[in-house]
A and B are shown apart, each in its own frame.
Chain A
Amino acid sequence: MIELHRVSKVFSVGPVKVPALSDVSLRIAKGEFVVLTGASGAGKTTLLRLLYRDDVPSDGEVQVLGEDVASLRRSEVAALRRSIGVVFQDAKLLPARTVYENVAFVLRVLGTPKREITPRVFDALRTVGISARAQAYPAQLSQGEAQRASLARAIVRQPSLLLADEPTGNLDDAMEAEIIDVIKDIRAGGTTVILATHQSRLVRALRRRTITLDGGYLLKDEG
């Protein structure tokens, strides 16, 4: 499903080279739930960005769904991303569109036939437990609801891989538990999940395979 072979990523800030990932190798099988942890700046977000090809490695090889992501053409990158759902700490909902429109937007830009859009959007909203708020605008949602809407948008295309970058970072404990339950449900449907978090309490609570990064290096891979 996912394979990283001696992957490094170095950012250039003027003349200064800043390593974000160094010599990381790992393998994630289909259907796994993997927690990616480490302190801020450990390289979690960089690693996720390499997986959905928002960036390319400076060295090494990143294989996602059987594709060497660095060598993909633009149209192939788009095709890869159609199989990947991404959620962030900030829900990134479009403020001028309702929850329904935010989720439907994804299907519309991908050219989904009109008659399929409404049932698929409501399926996704039901999965994350927010169908009653379909006509609400993002400003009218709690942070937990906004994150659920963001998850609905990520899963409405039924991706085979879900990348969640600190999805509970802004939430209180109760909301965090709700979001984690939703992500577990999504994984139960067969989706591979990689959840990045710096919260050690959450890592312990999840009791899943945990990959720990430290200063860009893979420190531990356990569980």
Chain B
Amino acid sequence: MLGFLIGEALRDLRRAGRVAVSAIVLITLSLAALGGFWLLSANLARAVANWRERVRIIVYLKREPAASEAPALVERVQGVPGVASVVYLSKADALKSLKEILGKDASVVAQLPANPLPASLEVTPAAAAATPDGARTLLRNLQALPEAEEVAGSADWVERLSQWQRLVTTIGLGIGAVLAVAAILTVTTSTTLILHARRHEMEIMRLVGAPEAAIRLPLLLQGMLQGLLGALLALGALVVAHELVAPRLEPLVNLTLGLSHLQFLPLASLMMLLAAGTLLGALGGWLARGRREP
């Protein structure tokens, strides 16, 4: 029976001809747009996650604690809510860092009469505190430490990047949804044509007492086939576009977002796109399901 149903669905697909091709192309465009924006959004999300991990708050100390006092201070700051880890940098450590940054010009440091750099604590916020609000609360808490002279750092720009990522996702969903509606309507049109073409078959099927499923399933199946074909073409287009464009964009992406490469969508997302295509087709086929008997 299944073989018969699939055979009828394929026969129906051939009957729909150009309208089925239009429906498949629209599903391809819809899912390619959705997948393209999803790919962009996923890479922006990676950048946001990377940069969130790199958010640091520096607490400059009023005076350098004695070597014996430093561990206790670190332990106390570690206990502040929203702090993931704390590294103590003595005045000497700070000067060493400066020399490393200056490189061949490090000799200028020797001209200084004394080490002007303050001792500091480098605070890594916990994930929950790596948001603008979380970071602001953490800044206030660190500012309240009696040893703190000044506290520097913020997560605002990471949040702005995160907002861009959300915007890209929303645009992708919007464009994908508009094209998906067009695709569903086109599948519905092609299925209506099929219904017209196979009205004699359906009449005979009803006359001989065929189960309703045997009459309607081929319609649903051909819709699903249109959707699946569209989704496969969309995935193919995404793979080709990624292979062609990613190597050219990666230097720019590395420079601006700090990502070494543009990742393709993971297998689970690809499966979701295939399922979405099949579902779009099925919905189109279902909407054109035709009349039932009295």
Instruction: Report whether B203 and A92 are in contact in the complex, using a CB–CB cutoff of 8 Å.
Output: yes
B294 interface residue (CB < 8 Å to A) = yes
A174 interface residue (CB < 8 Å to B) = no
Instruction: Report whether B208 and A74 are in contact in the complex, using a CB–CB cutoff of 8 Å.
Output: no
Q: Which one of A78-86, A125-133, A140-148 is at the interface?
A: A78-86
Q: Give chain A's interface residues, CB within 8 Å of chain B.
A: 52, 54-56, 74-75, 77-84, 86, 92, 94-95, 105-106, 108-111, 153, 157
User: What are 11 sample pairs from A and B whose C-beta atoms fall under 8 A apart?
Assistant: A78-B211, A78-B212, A81-B207, A81-B208, A82-B208, A83-B209, A92-B203, A106-B204, A109-B208, A111-B1, A153-B204
What is the distance, in angstroms, from B124's C-beta to the closest C-beta of chain A?
Answer: 66
Are A110 and B210 CB-contacts (below 8 A) given A92-B203, A94-B200? yes
**Residues in chain A near residue B200, CB distance under 8 A:** 92, 94-95
Q: Give chain B's interface residues, CB within 8 Å of chain A.
A: 1, 4, 200-201, 203-212, 214-215, 292-294
Instruction: Report whether A110 and B208 are in contact in the complex, using a CB–CB cutoff of 8 Å.
Output: yes
**Residues in chain A near residue B292, CB distance under 8 A:** 74
Instruction: Report whether A75 and B203 are in contact in the complex, using a CB–CB cutoff of 8 Å.
Output: no
Cross-interface CB contact of B209 among A78, A94, A105, A153, cutoff 8 Å = A78
**Residues in chain B near residue A54, CB distance under 8 A:** 293
| In the bound complex, CA of A79 to CA of B294 (Å) | 16
| In the bound complex, CA of A95 to CA of B292 (Å) | 24
Instruction: Report whether B208 and A92 are in contact in the complex, using a CB–CB cutoff of 8 Å.
Output: no
Cross-interface CB contact of B214 among A74, A79, A109, cutoff 8 Å = A109
What is the distance, in angstroms, from A39's C-beta to the closest C-beta of chain B?
Answer: 26
| In the bound complex, CA of A56 to CA of B201 (Å) | 23
Instruction: Report whether B211 and A75 are in contact in the complex, using a CB–CB cutoff of 8 Å.
Output: yes
| In the bound complex, CA of A95 to CA of B208 (Å) | 18
| In the bound complex, CA of A153 to CA of B201 (Å) | 13
What is the distance, in angstroms, from B83's C-beta to the closest C-beta of chain A?
Answer: 67
**Residues in chain B near residue A95, CB distance under 8 A:** 200
What is the distance, in angstroms, from B4's C-beta to the closest C-beta of chain A?
Answer: 5
| In the bound complex, CA of A52 to CA of B206 (Å) | 10
